[in-house]
Amino acid sequence: MEKKNTLIDKLDSINEQLDLTHYWITFLKYKKLLFLIPLAFGLLGYLVALNINPIFKSTATLVIESEVKKIVDIEEVYSGDAGGQLGGFNHINNQIQIMRSDEILNGVLRDEERKKKIANLIRIIPKSFIKNKTAALKKLILFQPDKKTKKKLTVDISPSLKNYMKANYSVRNIRNSDVIELSFKSNNPELAKFLLTELIESYLRYDVDTKVKITAHANKQINIRLSELLVNMEAAEKELLKYKKKNKLTDIGNIKTLKTDQIKSVSKRIIDANRELQKKENDLTAIKLAEGNIEELLAIADLRNKKEVDAIRTNISSTENNIEALQIVYKDEHPKLKKMFKTKENLDNRLKEILQENITASAFELSNLKSFIVSSEEELNLAKNDLQELEEKDAEIRKYEREVEITSKIYETFLQRMKETNEVKELQSSNVKIIQAALLPAIPISPNIKRITYMMYFISLLILFGLLIYFEFNRNTVVEPSNLDKLDIPVLATLPSVTKLDKGYHLSQIFLEDVNSEFSESIRTLRTLLVAKYKKNKSILLTSTYSGEGKTTIALNIALAFSKIGKVLLIETDIRRPSVLNEMNQSDLKTKAGFSDLIQGDTNFSDTIIELPGSNIKLMTSGARRSDLTDLTTPSKLKEFLDSLKQHYDYIILDTPPIQPVSDTLFISQATDHNLIIARSRVTKFAGIKSAVKKLKNVNVSVDGLVFNDLDTSNASYYGYYQYGGYYRKYKSYS
């Protein structure tokens, strides 16, 4: 797991350090290789595909109709359900299961001639296929002669053939439709078509045979049901006649009409009589209230409108007029007036008599009217009872009639069904329609030669290009200082390779131990250039892209060189993997507090300073190991700390971790005055150093110069270099 993570991290690092230009340059550099090798792999894929046994697929399309004319479904006979949408889907699923069933497969293998033809077609399959796929099947081929006895075998191969068909036969339903797609795969296109055709024929035969069985069963059931219905129909008719005879009924409809009319007439009479009765009762009440007062009695309309009363009232009015006329001429004692008064008196008495007679007649009429209403109500109730009895009898008759009618209709329906099932026996048709018969496949579905060829080509192209990118990244190391020209950063010094050290010398202190060496001279040249370019009391950061590029060795030797001209403090800031003391073999000082302890506030400054034996430099080790410097301080606080050190030291050299693996150097560089990057010949990758410079720029830190390390300056080298003014000049070596 750790190896996998390491590989992923490395690939991420490569991807981060490379840009599109590197990809394009790599492509142009190896374009012939990228064309020829994938082409060869594509050709290899083409040849491999040609040698793969092809698989052909024969297809056919069927439609299963949901309803078929003149065919009786036994489920319809009993349930009367024509089938909804869900029922249709269930029907299709059932048919698909039937198509896949052993019954259909066995239907193909029942004929011996058909099995022989299948066996002959299987023999045509390429040898590799026969050997790998159907070796066991060939051993069981019917009628294959035995090599020893020369007799034909009679072993049944049906199970093997059935398994072969089941493995290569497929059926599927097109979504939301009655369309079924069938297919068969085989290495022999003729075999695929033949078996698919036979499977369809087997299904059609099964479908028709099943329907014949169903219709025969339905016919039998219908005959049984017809017999039962005939008995029920005869019994219903007998019950109807028996009921009519018992109740002596012929046509209840006319009797009901007469009774209804009678009820309406009596109801109207009762309503009119009640209205007249109410009027009479009101008049008698008014008569009682009048208490014999003629004027009040005449106010009653029924009394006032009588002819006799009206005539008397007219005579009384005429007599009163005559009296008034005579009173003008005569006195009341006059005989004429007396006579007229007598006449008026007689008329008033007669009016009273007539009114009394009418009142007596009204009372009699009221009594008669009440009796009439009572008798009419009795007649109405009797008519209602008669009508109710008639309706009950009519309902009973209708029940018997409906039973007879329903039984008759059911009988006619089943009789029609029996006729239809008889027709089905003769037709023996199927509701399956073949839209597309089994086709002879011309092109195999597998292998796809074009796809395999293209895939081999493109996959090999991608793999090869990836390997070339990885190879270029790992081999694209800087060999000479001119390889760094594209960075536009000056190469301040070129340090030669140190191939051999005298006994007792150490590379980390070679500046002191071997002052006349080419390496020591290069260090002095670098010191001269740094003194000329940078003022005193400055902090100088030394870093590299990855570990192993000579950063710590150069930092120690530069510190030793600066110690000759001023006070120097060398700070080891790599708190994850400290290495300064290891380089100097100072194992007895490893427990000393250092940089990490100081910035965390766990110790005093004086406790962190070590004076290296044999030199004037002061060393501050990394201290206790930590996981992350950014958790301990900030760039601004770190800068304040370095500024305080400048008051006591002329030069502060910081040996920092490599930039690519960790982020500590990006953090520290924001607090230093000058930043130098070490590049080692044949080790440092150009993409890596370019990425390191980019990372520093992203945190607003500029690189002041490069130091090229471990350059081979031997005569065997193609290029030789010599130092001049801190920069390099190159010349061609012919030795």
Per-residue model confidence as pLDDT tens digits over 520-535: 899 999 999 999 998 8
Q: Residue 722: which of 436, 493, 427 has the closest Cα?
A: 493
303-307, 338-342, 672-676: range with lowest mean pLDDT: 303-307
Q: Residue 338: which of 352, 319, 313 has the closest Cα?
A: 319
Residue 320 CB coordination number (10 Å)? 13
CB of 67 closer than 8 Å to CB of 81? no
Q: Which domain holds residue 23?
A: 1-52+447-476
Per-residue model confidence as pLDDT tens digits over 477-492: 887 888 788 888 999 9
Q: pLDDT confidence of 411, banded at 50, 70, 90?
A: low
Question: Looking at the structure, do residues 643 and 594 belong to the same domain, yes or no?
Answer: yes
Per-residue DSSP letters for 438-455?
A: PP--SS-SBS-HHHHHHH
User: Is 245 inside any structural domain?
Assistant: no
What is the rounded distance in angstroms from the CA atom of residue 181 to the CA atom of residue 154? Answer: 36
Mean pLDDT, the chain, rounded, equals 76
DSSP 8-state secondary structure symbol assigned to residue 579: -
Question: Looking at the structure, do residues 471 and 530 belong to the same domain, yes or no?
Answer: no
User: Is 61 inside any structural domain?
Assistant: no
Question: Looking at the structure, do residues 573 and 715 belong to the same domain, yes or no?
Answer: yes
Tokens 């081979």 correspond to what residue? 712
Question: Looking at the structure, do residues 325 and 465 belong to the same domain, yes or no?
Answer: no
Question: Looking at the structure, do residues 303 and 363 belong to the same domain, yes or no?
Answer: yes
Tokens of 701: 């830190």
Tokens 């698989």 correspond to what residue? 55
Question: At CA 299, angle to CA 298 and CA 303, rounded to 5?
Answer: 50
The H or E element that residue 679 is part of is strand 674-680
User: Is 519 inside any structural domain?
Assistant: yes
Residue 237 CB coordination number (10 Å)? 16
Q: CB under 8 Å to 164, separation ≥6 — which residues?
A: 134, 137
Cis peptide bond N-terminal to 447, omega within 30: yes
Q: Residue 440: which of 189, 682, 615, 683 has the closest Cα?
A: 189
Q: CB under 8 Å to 653, separation ≥6 — which residues?
A: 540, 542, 555, 558, 559, 562, 568, 569, 570, 571
User: Is 356 inside any structural domain?
Assistant: yes
Spell out where 501-563 has E strands: 538-544
Please count the structural domains in the chain: 3
Question: Looking at the structure, do residues 40 and 5 belong to the same domain, yes or no?
Answer: yes
261-265, 400-404, 420-424, 571-575: range with lowest mean pLDDT: 420-424
Of 237 and 201, the structure prediction assigns the larger pLDDT to: 201
Question: Looking at the structure, do residues 685 and 721 belong to the same domain, yes or no?
Answer: yes
Per-residue DSSP letters for 628-641?
A: -GGGT--HHHHHHH
Tokens 């000058």 correspond to what residue? 674
Tokens of 689: 């150093």
Per-residue model confidence as pLDDT tens digits over 416-455: 666 666 655 544 455 778 888 888 887 888 888 888 888 9
Question: Looking at the structure, do residues 698 and 622 belong to the same domain, yes or no?
Answer: yes
Residue 81, sorted as left (phi over 0), alpha (psi -120 to 50) or beta, turns out to be beta
Q: What pLDDT was estimated at residue 212?
A: 66
Tokens 């007036």 correspond to what residue? 337
Question: Looking at the structure, do residues 561 and 664 belong to the same domain, yes or no?
Answer: yes
Of 332 and 728, the structure prediction assigns the larger pLDDT to: 332
Question: Looking at the structure, do residues 555 and 621 belong to the same domain, yes or no?
Answer: yes
CB of 491 closer than 8 Å to CB of 727? yes
The helix/strand/coil state of 333 is: coil
User: What mean pLDDT do residues 222-245 have?
Assistant: 68
User: Is 265 inside any structural domain?
Assistant: yes
CA dihedral sign, ordered 392, 398, 403, 406: negative
DSSP 8-state secondary structure symbol assigned to residue 331: -
What is the rounded distance in angstroms from the CA atom of residue 494 to the CA atom of residue 482? Answer: 11
User: Which CATH number goes with the domain that contains 372?
Assistant: 1.20.120
Res 154 pLDDT > 50: no
* This prediction's pTM: 0.42
Per-residue DSSP letters for 258-279?
A: HHHHHHHHHHHHHHHHHHHHHH
User: Is 262 inside any structural domain?
Assistant: yes
Q: Residue 674: which of 492, 516, 414, 437 has the closest Cα?
A: 492
User: What mean pLDDT do residues 307-321 have?
Assistant: 79
313-322, 519-528, 580-589, 598-607: range with lowest mean pLDDT: 580-589
CB of 548 closer than 8 Å to CB of 679? no
Tokens of 123: 């023999």
Res 1 pLDDT > 60: no
User: Is 302 inside any structural domain?
Assistant: yes
Percent of the chain exceeding pLDDT 90 equals 15
Q: pLDDT confidence of 590, banded at 50, 70, 90?
A: low
Of 200 and 734, the structure prediction assigns the larger pLDDT to: 200
CB of 571 closer than 8 Å to CB of 598? no
Tokens 């800031």 correspond to what residue? 573
Res 173 pLDDT > 60: yes
CB of 595 closer than 8 Å to CB of 608? yes
Per-residue model confidence as pLDDT tens digits over 608-667: 888 877 778 898 988 887 777 878 888 999 999 999 999 999 999 999 999 988 888 999
> Taking every pair of C-alpha atoms in the chain, what is the biggest distance, in angstroms?
200
Q: What pLDDT was estimated at residue 463?
A: 92
Question: Looking at the structure, do residues 420 and 451 belong to the same domain, yes or no?
Answer: no
User: Is 76 inside any structural domain?
Assistant: no
Helix extents (H) in 428-494: 449-475
User: Which CATH number goes with the domain that contains 608?
Assistant: 3.40.50.300
Res 25 pLDDT > 60: yes
Question: Looking at the structure, do residues 471 and 549 belong to the same domain, yes or no?
Answer: no
The H or E element that residue 610 is part of is strand 609-611
Q: What pLDDT was estimated at residue 459?
A: 93
Q: What pLDDT was estimated at residue 133?
A: 44
Per-residue DSSP letters for 699-733?
A: TT----EEEEEEE--STTSSEEEEEETTEEEEEE-
Q: What pLDDT was estimated at residue 584?
A: 57
What is the rounded distance in angstroms from the CA atom of residue 393 to the CA atom of residue 247? Answer: 8
